[in-house]
Structure 1
Amino acid sequence: MKTLIIIPAYNEEGSIGSVIADIRRHVPEADIIVINDGSSDRTEEVAMASGARVLTMPYNVGIGGGMQTGYMYAKMLDYDVAVQMDADGQHPAKELPKLIGQTARYDLVIGSRYVKSTSYRSSRMRRIGMIFFSKLVTLLTRQRFTDTTSGFRAAGRKVIGLYASYYPIDYPEVESLVYLKRHGCTITEVSTEMQRRQAGRSSITPARSVYYMIKVTFSVLMSAMRYNRTAVIK
């Protein structure tokens, strides 16, 4: 399958090179594109020197805008599979075959930290948010999810087309699942290991975590309401 690894990156010069090298080691047949989201450091230079293609945004558009750009690129160049992967080294490339292999059966495959017990440990606040959103999406979609905030995902052609047309802007992982279920996509989770970021600091502070939970909850509920209204009209 023609596979594209999409890596959204903002000021990740300290880790992007090793992430690309790790991908080359485990899935050398895949193409890699780094969406350089208006970084002010050497992210673009390091990514290009490591052999990846780079699309540089004119300013910081956020994870949603960066990922939609990646999916538009995947659709334009007719990829069979597009994989979302973090630039900070949290997603080990050795886990990629697990995700890619399941795209023959499912439209979207999520790398989950909680399908089975893994070595991953998060802060208490983050774990509360993960549990909350997993239960919310499970309730709204009537499908059990364990890790709706995971940014480690493999998408088939149907999802590539849908995400190229629309992708939530701010903290999009949770809402994007409701969007896919609304369009009849099949989704599964596979157990994957994840690790601590290799360099830099996360942009999600405790204050932003609270903001994230409130904003995404409203977005997800509004998305579900729009779907229900459309279903009634039809």
Structure 2
Amino acid sequence: MKSVCAVIPAFNEEKRIQATLRAVKSIALISNIIVVNDGSTDATSRLAEEMGVKVLDLPVNHGKGGAMNAVLPLVNDDIIVFLDADLGESAAEAGKIIEPVVMGKADLSIAAFPPAQRKGGFGLVKGTAVWMLRRAGNMEAIAPLSGQRAMTREVLDSVTPFYEAYGVELGMTLRALQKGFRVVEVPTCMTHSETGRDLQGFIHRGRQFIDVVRVMLREARRRDA
């Protein structure tokens, strides 16, 4: 039986971390759970430890990609699953993305979310990422920026180190496609915190767009080198 490790980067998620962990622990396929406490200033670390999982405490905030890179030396499993800490009970849906990898039907499996419940941006960031994946690997992506991903050890070794910014997911998929791995998207009922059409939301998406463009340019140079 292949071992499956769930890695959950978390920054100030004290309100959701235990619900997320309860859901993840309910998935029989998962044999190991690591929470990367990314410099949280709230009780995220303590609450995760109370759930009986391994916690890697980072002294300062590294950002999602940085937290994912920091945990790599601790991961020795056959299949690795990255999940967001704010999924809550819907994290139980992660079994849907793990199964294709366990069954040998995919090398990298990505969770597609239902339509957003609130209006967000205007699709520029997502549309740009979709275009890049279509151009790079002829992939018609639905969820190019989804952070919920299951992958084989071979994929993990091939796509790391991760970009330490908002472009971490796009960079991961681009490298996997370029190396010929089988990438699939799986419909799920996952939900998490959504950004709206307010100032904070637009700032978030602006930074995300800049990072996505940076990843596109870096991967293009890397491919042509």
Q: TM-score, normalised by structure 1?
A: 0.84
- Corresponding residue SS for 1:159: helix
Amino acid in the other structure paired with 2:84: D
Distance 2:29 2:135 in 1: 39
In structure 1, distance between residues paired with 2:165 and 2:151: 20
Q: Compared with structure 1, are the counterparts of its residues 159 and 122 closer, same or farther at alpha carbon in structure 2 (3 Å cutoff)? A: farther
> Hey, which bits of structure 1, 4+ residues long, moved more than 4 A?
none
Whether the 8 Å CA contact 1:91–1:152 is kept in 2: the answer is no
Equivalent residues in 2 for 1:13-32 (5 A)?
13-27=14-28, 29-32=30-33
Alignment of 1:100-119 (within 5 A): 100-103=98-101, 104-113=104-113, 118=114
Percent identity of paired positions between Structure 1 and Structure 2: 26
* Residue type at the aligned position of 2:212: V
Q: Name the CA distance, whole Å, in 2 between partners of 1:178 and 1:213.
A: 16
Q: How many residues align?
A: 217
Corresponding residue number in structure 2 for 1:87: 85
Q: How many angstroms does 1:183 deviate by?
A: 2.4
Assess if the C-alpha contact under 8 Å between 1:119 and 1:193 holds in 2: no
Structure 1 residues 154 and 8: CA distance shift in structure 2, 3 A: same
Cα gap change, 1:183/1:138 in structure 2, threshold over 3 Å: closer, same or farther? same
Q: Which amino acid aligns with 2:163?
A: P
Distance in 2 of aligned mates of 1:189 and 1:9: 24
Output the amino acid matched with 1:83: V
Deviation of 1:157 (Å): 1.4
Q: 1:121 to 1:130 in 2, by over 3 A?
A: farther
- Contact 1:131–1:146 under 8 Å retained in 2: no
CA shift in 2, pair 1:135/1:121, >3 Å:
farther
CA distance in 1, matches of 2:55, 2:88: 20
Counterpart of 1:162?
158
| 1:52-67 equivalences in 2 (<5 Å) | 52-67=53-68
Name the structure 2 match of 1:134. 130
Structure 2: how far apart are the matches of 1:135 and 1:156?
25
Q: Which amino acid aligns with 2:51?
A: S
Distance change >3 Å, CA 148–CA 119, structure 1 → 2: closer
Letter of the structure 2 residue corresponding to residue 214 of structure 1: I
- 2:173 is paired with a residue whose SS is helix
Q: Please state whether the residue corresponding to 1:26 is helix, strand or coil.
A: coil
Per-residue CA deviations over 1:156-191 (Å, capped at 9, x if unaligned) read 11112224x411111111122112222222211111
Structure 1: 5+ residue stretches without partners: 199-203
1:201 aligned partner: none
Q: Distance in 2 between matches of 1:138 and 1:195?
A: 26
Secondary structure of 2:132's match?
helix
Mapped to 2, the partners of 1:152 and 1:126 lie a distance apart of 22
1:214 is matched with 210
What is the alpha-carbon distance in structure 1 between the residues aligned to residue 181 and residue 73 of structure 2? 18
Q: How does the TM-score come out when normalised to structure 2?
A: 0.87
Cα deviation for residue 64 of structure 1 reads 0.5
